[in-house]
Amino acid sequence: MTLALVVDQNGFPVYSKIFKGNQSEPATLAEILAKVYENQNDLITMFMKPAIVMDRGIATDDNVTYLEEHDYSYFVIERKNDVKNYEKEFSEKAKFARYETSKKDWILLRKITGESTDKVLVISSGKAHKEKSIVNKKEKRFLEDANKLISSNNKGYIQDYEKINIRIGRLKERYGSITNSYRFELKKDSANPKKVKSIKLASTKKKMAKKEYAGHYVIRTNKKDLTAKEIWEFYMKLTGVESSFRSLKSELGTRPVYHQKDDRIEAHLFISVLAYHILRSITFSLNKMDYHKSWSEIRNILKMHIRANIYYTDRDGNNYKVRMTGKPEEEVNKIYDLLKIKLHRYKIITKMKHRK
């Protein structure tokens, strides 16, 4: 099953629907918009349609065309491969405006005006650092796996030419574009061409696009009355929603689903959406009070505050439970204060029934 979830500009759920798992995600957009907006009799919705923000996965050409034909404003990020088409524009750093986004990070923005759409070229220092780190880790794992294959061949464990090519194919499938920067050189045994005598890993000297253009992306919109920074800020609303979605899939337990019956699966997803609504309410309330942290960061902070239950029996055979709440750290206390959460007493002793 696939869960489609529409949220507003603040990340709160507006509409959700469960689709079959084999249905293409891009194909669901028209159906969802028709259900949520186009079939409504609300005059405001009819004359002031919302702007649609989409990520790469659903921003297909057909979907963008659909939005244009139905008079929707939209903000989409171009696919990674399209960044190469703006190599010259990205190299002209003097034409970019610089904005500080935090004490450590900054962005460079450049708006390119078109006939029907505008594009904003973005270079983000924070995103570049994150993407390079991901690529470096992936490249490291690839080299480790490639060297394992080479070592197995040197020790004589695997020498069959076809089997080695299958292993190489699996590496290319697993590591994708990383392997474009490397090539395997197989030296066959002169006495037996079906055996590989040695394997070498050589560089193709091709630059990895994900590393070369790390932190580079292009935002496209048909909303013509906004500045480059306003377009970027509008699109960045999606990143907060994506962060919450990641929590929905991981910490909130949407995946994996172990149920087998449809009604139980639907109930599981329904509860997950309710949990997401609570999650977003918490982060939204904190953001309004100038406390900007993701849900995963908040969880890691709150992990420092624990509560323990201690059970014991006295000499007369009476059973007691002692609930002890640890004293919260300063950062934990700050979150509680902002959310107006009052803590219970640090120590609660409860007398229990006699054990048989």
C-alpha 23/C-alpha 294 separation (Å) is: 31
β-pair partners for 100: 106
Say what the pTM is.
0.73
Structure confidence at residue 356 (pLDDT): 45
Query: Is the pLDDT assigned to residue 38 strictly greater than 70?
Result: no
313 alpha carbon, distance to own chain's centre? 50
Query: Is the pLDDT assigned to residue 252 strictly greater than 90?
Result: no
Query: Structural domain boundaries of the chain?
Result: 2-73+225-288, 129-210, 304-352
Structure confidence at residue 199 (pLDDT): 95
Lowest-confidence segment of 8-17, 86-95, 135-144, 241-250 by average pLDDT: 241-250
Structure confidence at residue 17 (pLDDT): 83
Query: Is the pLDDT assigned to residue 36 strictly greater than 50?
Result: yes
Structure confidence at residue 19 (pLDDT): 80
What digits encode the pLDDT tens for the residues 302-347? 998 988 999 989 888 889 999 888 888 999 999 999 999 988 767 8
Contacts of 285 (CB under 8 A, 6+ apart): 338, 339
Query: Is the pLDDT assigned to residue 51 strictly greater than 60?
Result: yes
Contacts of 93 (CB under 8 A, 6+ apart): 108
Percent of the chain with pLDDT over 90: 40
H-helix segments, 103-227: 125-154, 161-175, 209-212
Would you say 28 and 19 are in contact if contact means Cβ atoms under 8 Å apart?
yes
Whole-number average pLDDT of the chain: 86
The DSSP letter of residue 76 is E
Structure confidence at residue 42 (pLDDT): 59
Structure confidence at residue 95 (pLDDT): 94
